[in-house]
Structure 1
Amino acid sequence: MNLVWWSIEVRDGATPARQWRDAWSRSLLEAAVTHGAHDFIWQAEPFGVVLELGFAETGDWDRFRSLPAVTAAVDAVDPTSIYVYPGRGGGAGAGLPRRSPRPIVEDAAPLPVSPAFILVARLP
């Protein structure tokens, strides 16, 4: 079964994200399981916590997200410290470090240059 994953990422702010997880975990997981979540996992990261939820259908996520318990949990966090997005969270996509762009080689074609604008003045 292919699951549609969503993540709720809470970063440490004025209060530690772990305190938010301890306060809201039970109601979030109950709401998720009763509204179609087939899998879930809490991850503790150096920056805070991530709740990953796997739903069978996108509509299940929409119903879950509109529940009063979920809205209250999301509203309990400083808006600059919470991220809700599709896909797995945390460092799931960071298998390799990012690399800077390769330098331009000597014998490469030159970059295109737009022609200079020519202004022609007419005298009366």
Structure 2
Amino acid sequence: MLISLIIIYATTSFVSAGLLLFSAKHVIIINELVSRATLTVHCRNKGEDKGVFSLGPGDSFDFRFRVNLRKSTVYTCSFAWPNNIETFDIFRADRDDNPRSKVGVCSECIWSIYEATPCRDRRDGGQPYCFKWSS
């Protein structure tokens, strides 16, 4: 009984801070290419390949997972459209599941993909967080 109470207390205390072990994440990727080209997306981490998807203008692809115990989860995606191929870490636990990072914790991580940059949308409607392509 005592163990159950401790687990319930720990869970409710840490959920709002994004500190829950194995926290659930939902990544959503939206094709916002200004050229209105089809975007080909391929996402994977060390142990899982999410497959290859073609997204028309405005279309989206999503996947769910849980952050690992060491909080080292990374999902890298390649993005291809005519005459371009870019890569980007669409989820990094140190960036997207860390209350001390400049972009904060997201449980639903919504990414708009533009030619110039991938941007993580903000739930409060503020300016999105945009990043440089890795490649």
Q: TM-score, normalised by structure 1?
A: 0.34
**The structure with more strand, counted as a fraction of residues:** 2
Rg larger in structure: 1
Q: TM-score, normalised by structure 2?
A: 0.32
